[in-house]
Amino acid sequence: MPESQLLAVAVIGVLVITLAIALVGAVGFRLLRSWRELGTDAERATYTTLHSASLAGKHLRSGLEPVGAAKASKHLRGLLGCEAVAITDVAGVLAWDGAGEAHRDGALGLAAKVLATGRTQVFRDAGTHQAELKEAVVAPIRAGSRIVGALVAYAPRAKPGLVRATSEVADWVAAQVELAELESSRTLLMEAEVRALRAQISPHFIYNSLNAIASFITTDPAKARDLVLEFADFTRYSFRRHGDFTTVAEELRCIEHYLKLERARFGDRLQVTLTIAPEVLSTVIPFLSLQPLVENAVRHGLEDKEGIGRIAITAQDAGAFVEVTIEDDGVGIEPEHLRAVLAGHSDSDHVGLRNVDSRLRQVYGDDHGLVVDTAPGAGTLITMRVPKSQPRPDLGS
């Protein structure tokens, strides 16, 4: 497989985390239906990657166990384009797919070094004495702070593309393991519910982003590749598995990726201005507390509006606080409906607004919830005031 394709696989590995959680069925159907419309090898490779990952995900729903790992390994080898793949836990080899299964036990010896260090390693001599399995890339599979296994990819030569792709696919496998563990524990499920409140990504946005990417594949392949990278960066940040807090700078970077994807759909209809004071960029804020507000402005403020829609994002120093505002000139919200949303009494899909407000009150107190000024046809102005001092230590970091 060409190295450029392997690098594409590494990017797609992050994108697939989202697909496996929210859109496996719908996207799989769409990929199959669209297969005949794809002309180039690169286009087919991209869609084959997505389909293979969704198939592998089904077999990892029970976590890292032999039956599921054995079935998933076939699809993972297809993703990586290597000669053989092994999946291990900390005690043994769970699965092998590809050439040279006689060397299965040797995979654990390679994995042991990675399990000890937690770092992806390249072995120029994998100890197989077979040319097609001469080198190996071994990447750790992490579940939270624990290393629970390793992914081993064998090839005649471990090129940089394969190294990166193996690491990304191992991270994706780790995400499936974490999901399985969450499902098996009541305590972890409760934690997952909290995480879902602060790190929810709209399936609506995912579906529209994939449609936007697909629309450029034949007309502007370079733009399609750029959008895939933007989507990968956005999902990598949104699904990171550590930290309840981030900085204003990191959150704005996430918003930048999000808006580039939305501009691919809206074109010149979406106009955004940012006014950011440099001194506020390092301020610590709750993870994913700004992006959902911008998504709310796009989806509920501008999507149903005819003509050009404008969003203004500001962040400024306000003494002991940092004040962030997000304003749109969209259709606005009925005040009664807004009150129901913020009180949790509505099934509306303004869920991001409610989640951010709830999290701010949990972290900083009831005086620091969102302030929302809106009316039908008058747009929406959301103000968030965050103390510059660190959140309460008992909330973790």
Pairing of the two strands 245-247 and 270-276: unpaired
Other CB atoms within 10 A of residue 33 CB: 9
Structural domains in the chain, sorted by start: 42-196 (3.30.450.40), 200-387 (3.30.565.10)
Closest of 87, 79, 81, 29 to residue 52, by C-alpha = 79
The answer to whether the Cα torsion of 335, 340, 342, 348 is positive or negative is negative
- Residue 359: C-alpha distances to residues 10, 84, 307 (Å): 33, 45, 34
Separation CA 346–CA 293 (nearest Å): 18
pLDDT (tens digit, 9 = 90+) per residue, 263-280?
888 888 889 999 999 999
pLDDT (tens digit, 9 = 90+) per residue, 157-200?
999 999 999 999 999 999 988 888 776 654 444 344 445 544 45
What residues of the chain score a pLDDT lower than 50?
4, 6-12, 14-28, 31, 35, 186-194, 197-199, 392-397
Separation CA 200–CA 191 (nearest Å): 14
Strand, helix or coil at 326?
strand
